[in-house]
Structure 1
């Protein structure tokens, strides 16, 4: 990579790459097959503070920003983690650390951030519902006033990492959607003590069988009068939409960083095979039919990287970055998918063998075109906000 990163981000890249390269594809394959969190490398990242880069130094973190966090995620993916890297940097470093650092009260920062920085507190994020996927306005999980706090009831779906989380950043409605004026009012983000709610019997979850990225479970979550104290509101009551966008835009930027690192990893694996495989007396990588598609994908990965860095740079400075975050996510997800698809083709029939990592990467790459936001909605956003076309949804 020739991009001249700030010194802080360049150091992050080298540090995380050094850890990632200690874990080969057999390790990642075992974690996926066993459906278990990659605890060993996670502990290495925690010991080095690489997960706490965006937590202020006074709370035990690195005092850096989303750019450095994005570079760390990209390096982890490129170094071997592939699609698993996104979950490792989203669930706690971003959803918990980044959001509480920006939107938490002084008391919340003191309560949560040192524990996150020390690897003692893990978090997850819950917004999606069975009847409210990309249309977040339509969520119906209700938080009603109850004495000095809230009682929350509802259902969430595709919530990753609940089984590990100590706290959940839960998006609720304190004003029903039908009554909210404007439509973006009435949201409240709550910090829910997951383990306490499970012990109380007010929160339960059920893993969803899924195609890939099995290092973390994705769950149905059921909330039945979950009690949340008033001091666990993140941001302001009824005004949580501002907090929400400061979760969703970093999520898209980090998804883009994951796609960039994933693309680099898959390209490396494809090129190594293409340089060694010689069924007709010369490496298949010497053939333009193999080389040119891989070269084009490399160009796409580099362009996606620049947009991801730009979006992170803007976010760190508190500047609007919605379009940049969406474009970064769109281009990086497509580059990662194209890389996985072309690697599959490069391996020929052997791609279908689970002896090689290509099948797993092909499977894992596809979902990035759908989450954390479907590419059709990204394109609709670009059409409306960048091209001035009429709103389509």
Structure 2
């Protein structure tokens, strides 16, 4: 059993860390305060092909996999981006590139992947609905076939990045949940031309005011008879459930990688402060009350990293990884939150000052325990599928 990173992943880590190192915490705090996308960093990632790692070389990408994407995201977060890094690797590199490469037709790959690799196209993902949050089975956004188009109507919520996206990876119902047998049938995943639908007035969106992760907007999305050519189905009509899970598992793995990187970043800042701060004549880090919680946070982050890499490794090999993806997300989110909480405590009253980045990192860390799946549902999944306990929901 070899725990060394593959040379490809090690090189990715070094390359992304070099980019992250150019941008200090003042930069990330400005992006957050101004609620703007970190365009300068994104452009550097695109120029270097660091966003297109999982796109095959024949389409202009790096020819690598989810493991390398996870390492890149972790490095960007740890190198300074913190929670902002996750969306930079989820929206287009994962939701767009990974999904199209895995489930797209030959024509779809030729149309989309080179443009994603060059930075010409960006994507986002829409599954969550006001009345169907974590219970995706009950989504009601309807796509009905009308000649050579699907006509889509419905509403989505918490859709991040739609304001930037050229295409939306949209999960719809072509058979209502009440009629689907089995209930996992009747899903169809579509590639929606956002700009065209907005111009037609059939797609509108409204940003949701939120506590953190302000470098990308999250919106309510309204679909009113959006027309989507049948050629833009990902996978097969009515058989999109497997496509959907092949999006959700990488999302959880990458969210875990972001948690590991963000936790590493706040822990580094805590240790720097604990080494420098000496109000009683010696660094506060010499006190076990400060040192031990930080040491425990470090241990938790290392364990979360191992499971994150394992889950990505499995996904790249086409092997089942649902439990591993869930465990990675659960442990990384909690480890990142504990690291942020202990960093806040280490900084004392100064953590509350907006002159430091700790308050921003603290609020950004908290959401990971709720998205992309609530930790209670992860625990229920583990209890049922790994321990053989009765289903609880």
- Fold agreement, TM-score > 0.5: yes
2:386 maps to which residue?
386
1:338 maps to which residue?
338
Hey, what's the Cα distance between the residues in 2 that align with 1:354 and 1:276?
A: 20
Hey, what's the Cα distance between the residues in 2 that align with 1:363 and 1:67?
A: 27
- 1:221 Cα shift? 0.2
- 1:307 Cα shift? 0.1
Hey, what's the Cα distance between the residues in 2 that align with 1:111 and 1:85?
A: 27
Deviations 1:115-151 (A, max 9, x none): 0000010000000000000000000000001111110
Hey, what's the Cα distance between the residues in 2 that align with 1:205 and 1:287?
A: 51
Q: Does 1:275 align with 2:272?
A: no
Deviations 1:356-391 (A, max 9, x none): 000000000000000000000000000001100001
1:212 maps to which residue?
212
Hey, what's the Cα distance between the residues in 2 that align with 1:316 and 1:359?
A: 36
Hey, what's the Cα distance between the residues in 1 that align with 2:300 and 2:376?
A: 19
Hey, what's the Cα distance between the residues in 2 that align with 1:23 and 1:105?
A: 39
Hey, what's the Cα distance between the residues in 2 that align with 1:367 and 1:291?
A: 26
1:370 maps to which residue?
370
Unaligned segments of structure 1, at least 5 residues: none
1:62 maps to which residue?
62
1:37 maps to which residue?
37
1:141 maps to which residue?
141
SS at match of 2:54: coil
2:172 maps to which residue?
172
* Matching of residues 190-209 of structure 1 within 5 Å: 190-209=190-209
2:360 maps to which residue?
360
2:240 maps to which residue?
240
Hey, what's the Cα distance between the residues in 1 that align with 2:256 and 2:208?
A: 25
Hey, what's the Cα distance between the residues in 2 that align with 1:370 and 1:138?
A: 19
2:327 maps to which residue?
327
Hey, what's the Cα distance between the residues in 2 that align with 1:169 and 1:85?
A: 20
Hey, what's the Cα distance between the residues in 2 that align with 1:214 and 1:293?
A: 29
2:309 maps to which residue?
309
Flag as ranges the 4+ runs of structure 1 deviating above 3 A.
Answer: none
Hey, what's the Cα distance between the residues in 2 that align with 1:189 and 1:121?
A: 18
- 1:349 Cα shift? 0.5
1:126 maps to which residue?
126
Hey, what's the Cα distance between the residues in 1 that align with 2:332 and 2:199?
A: 40
SS at match of 1:144: strand
- 1:3 Cα shift? 5.3
TM-score (norm 1): 0.99
CA RMSD of aligned residues (A): 0.7
- 1:286 Cα shift? 0.5
SS at match of 1:170: strand
Hey, what's the Cα distance between the residues in 2 that align with 1:88 and 1:342?
A: 26
- 1:4 Cα shift? 1.6
1:292 maps to which residue?
292
1:16 maps to which residue?
16
Equivalences, count: 392
2:318 maps to which residue?
318
Q: Does 1:71 align with 2:56?
A: no
Hey, what's the Cα distance between the residues in 1 that align with 2:146 and 2:11?
A: 48
Hey, what's the Cα distance between the residues in 1 that align with 2:9 and 2:270?
A: 27
Hey, what's the Cα distance between the residues in 2 that align with 1:27 and 1:3?
A: 35
- 1:26 Cα shift? 0.2
2:348 maps to which residue?
348
- 1:353 Cα shift? 0.2
SS at match of 2:22: coil
